[in-house]
């Protein structure tokens, strides 16, 4: 019997690659294409998936039954046009996931920040408890064979649900966790009010008689309490509020989580408490919950230890550990750096940051200025521009125009005036941060620092990563020669590729 054929356009994405693995595990003939090679594409090829580099009409296999495209693929993509010409059904990643989710009892993890860690924790708890779930997650887990997909045989699907472009509105989960709401994806949404309304629509999609777990500590979520209550009453949804600042209900559980959790940061304590709350509602025993939480050691690019620095050129007293982290929004950056400072309070910290999307950096510029206070030194790389979601060579700080009905920004009008070169935004950010450092740490005549509410002492804009080793050497000599020091390579772009050149060995 001939296998059905599915072709992915933009198969190298973290979501599309997981979905491709689902189809492969269900006996489909899977192929795909992407703009450039990557670590994920190499892994897909090893699994037997044929992947083309570059987009051409001829990539689409004869007799394809379905074409699935990532959010970054425009409508004029030659493979999308070819699918339309041949009458091959084409769906977005979110639409395709929405279809397959109907086959399962879906548990969706939503929120601006923390989705991947929370999805990982919930998945491991369900596996420990014998639920045998299928998992689609936005990172790679060692527990899944360094994959972003787990093919379970049970009734449950654990799904990381992204709010970008309303993607998660394609899902109708049995249960959901919403971790937080923040001013994110402002290249698509007009403002925070619109984002809140999209999350309310997502809540309306939860099945009648389902479960909804919400973070009481998040002011944007708790501010919607009355509206959420009304929706839940109409659909008989069980609402569970959790919070690490609510001692009456969760202090003992939080204490236990802090005691066993291997990953750093209060934000991760909160994520684990969210998972605990849903797991208990599903009838899972504390023993299984805590065993899974205690065994979790992190995920790909989530404060992932990569190895020791293979230089510096001078005799350094301590080994310098290097980590990769995916944080790219000011809220995430602050939480991650605060977690590092909490776990290693006497350790020096150098952050190398690659901004992700010129639009995000421009629209959240002021928030980025104060996001790095827990680092001792900061290196800023040029902006990583996202295909299909960013401009190619010029940006502006103009706020743009929006669709009055949907709240969606009209991409073509976002950056229309006051244009500057995209990579120059990083230099502007470096200048703004340095100005803040100078004002907060002005040296009085006796040579005493006037204020010390930030650890950040120096910021360097690096237009080319070729000089990164030299810059890190200089910073280590200047700031941290007598301290244990860690370096965190941070951003959602391709900064992780630079880490290989820095470390003595891969962790």
Spatial separation of the C-alpha atoms in residues 68 and 170, rounded to whole Å: 15
Spatial separation of the C-alpha atoms in residues 250 and 274, rounded to whole Å: 11
Spatial separation of the C-alpha atoms in residues 221 and 208, rounded to whole Å: 21
Q: Residue 377, SS3? A: strand
Spatial separation of the C-alpha atoms in residues 507 and 498, rounded to whole Å: 15
CA-closest candidate to residue 276, choices 303, 298, 299, 258: 258
Q: Cβ–Cβ contacts within 10 Å for residue 392, how many? A: 9
Do residues 416 and 398 touch, judged by C-beta distance below 8 A? Answer: yes
The order of strands in the sheet holding 134-141 is 147-150, 134-141, 156-160, 105-110, 175-178, 211-215, 238-242
Residue 116 known to bind ligand: yes
Residue 112 known to bind ligand: yes
Instruction: State the chain's maximal CA–CA distance in angstroms.
Output: 85
DSSP 102-124: TTSEEEEEESSS-HHHHHHHHHH
Residue 115 known to bind ligand: yes
Do residues 299 and 466 touch, judged by C-beta distance below 8 A? Answer: no
CB burial of residue 474 (10 Å; 0-12, 13-18, 19+): middle
Do residues 60 and 83 touch, judged by C-beta distance below 8 A? Answer: yes
CA-closest candidate to residue 61, choices 53, 71, 51: 51
Q: Please, what is the Cα angle at 375 between 366 and 457, to 5 degrees?
A: 80
Residue 54 known to bind ligand: no
DSSP 162-228: --GGGGGGG---SEEEE----S--TTTBSSHHHHHHHHHHHHHTSPTT-EEEEETT-HHHHTTHHHH
Residue 113 known to bind ligand: yes
Spatial separation of the C-alpha atoms in residues 364 and 429, rounded to whole Å: 11
Spell 23-43 as b/e; 16+ CB within 10 A means b. bbeeebbbbbbbeeebebbeb
Annotated binding residues for ATP, as ranges? 111-117
Annotated binding residues, as ranges? 111-117
């Amino acid at each position: 019997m001939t296998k059905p054929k599915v072709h992915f356009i933009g198969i190298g994405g973290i979501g599309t690659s997981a979905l491709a693995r689902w189809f492969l595990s269900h006996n489909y003939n899977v192929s795909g294409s992407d703009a450039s090679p990557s670590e994920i594409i190499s892994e897909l090829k090893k699994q037997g998936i044929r992947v083309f580099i570059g987009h051409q009409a001829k990539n689409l296999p004869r007799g394809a039954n379905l074409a699935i495209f990532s959010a970054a693929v425009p409508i004029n993509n030659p493979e999308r046009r070819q699918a339309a010409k041949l009458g091959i059904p084409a769906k977005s990643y979110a639409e395709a996931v929405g279809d397959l989710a109907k086959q399962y009892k879906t548990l969706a993890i939503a929120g601006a920040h923390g989705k991947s860690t929370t999805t990982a924790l919930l998945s491991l708890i369900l596996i420990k408890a014998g639920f045998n779930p299928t998992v689609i997650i936005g990172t790679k887990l060692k527990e899944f064979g360094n994959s972003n997909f787990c093919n379970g045989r049970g009734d449950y699907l654990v799904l990381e649900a992204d709010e970008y472009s309303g993607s998660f509105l394609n899902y109708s989960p049995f249960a959901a966790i919403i971790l937080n709401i923040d001013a994110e994806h402002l290249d698509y949404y007009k403002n925070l009010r619109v984002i809140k309304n999209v999350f309310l629509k997502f809540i309306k999609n939860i099945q009648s008689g389902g479960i909804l777990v919400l973070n009481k500590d998040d002011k944007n979520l708790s501010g919607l309490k009355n509206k959420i209550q009304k929706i839940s009453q109409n659909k008989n949804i069980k609402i569970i509020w959790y919070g690490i600042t609510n001692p009456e209900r969760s202090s003992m559980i939080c204490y236990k989580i802090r005691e066993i959790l291997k990953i750093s940061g209060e934000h991760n304590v909160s994520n684990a408490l969210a998972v605990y709350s849903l797991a208990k509602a599903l009838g899972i025993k504390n023993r299984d919950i805590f065993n899974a939480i205690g065994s979790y050691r992190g995920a790909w690019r989530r404060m992932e230890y990569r190895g020791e620095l293979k230089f510096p050129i001078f005799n350094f007293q301590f080994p310098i550990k290097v980590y990769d982290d995916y944080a790219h929004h000011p809220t995430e950056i602050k939480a991650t750096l605060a977690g590092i400072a909490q776990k290693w309070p006497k350790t020096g910290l150098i952050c190398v940051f690659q901004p992700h999307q010129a639009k995000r950096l421009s629209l959240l510029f002021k928030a980025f200025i104060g996001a790095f206070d827990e680092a001792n030194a900061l290196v800023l790389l040029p902006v990583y521009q996202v295909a299909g979601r960013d401009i190619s060579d010029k940006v502006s700080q103009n706020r743009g125009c929006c669709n009055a009905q949907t709240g969606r920004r009209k991409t073509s009008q976002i950056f229309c005036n006051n244009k500057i070169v995209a990579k120059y935004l990083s230099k502007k950010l470096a200048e703004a941060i340095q100005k803040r450092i100078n004002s907060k740490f002005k040296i009085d005549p006796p040579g005493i620092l006037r204020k010390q509410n930030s650890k950040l002492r120096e910021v360097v804009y690096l237009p080319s990563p070729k000089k990164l080793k030299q810059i890190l050497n200089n910073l280590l000599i200047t700031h941290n020669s007598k301290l244990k020091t860690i370096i965190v390579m941070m951003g959602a772009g391709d900064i992780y590729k630079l880490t290989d050149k820095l470390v003595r060995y891969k962790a």
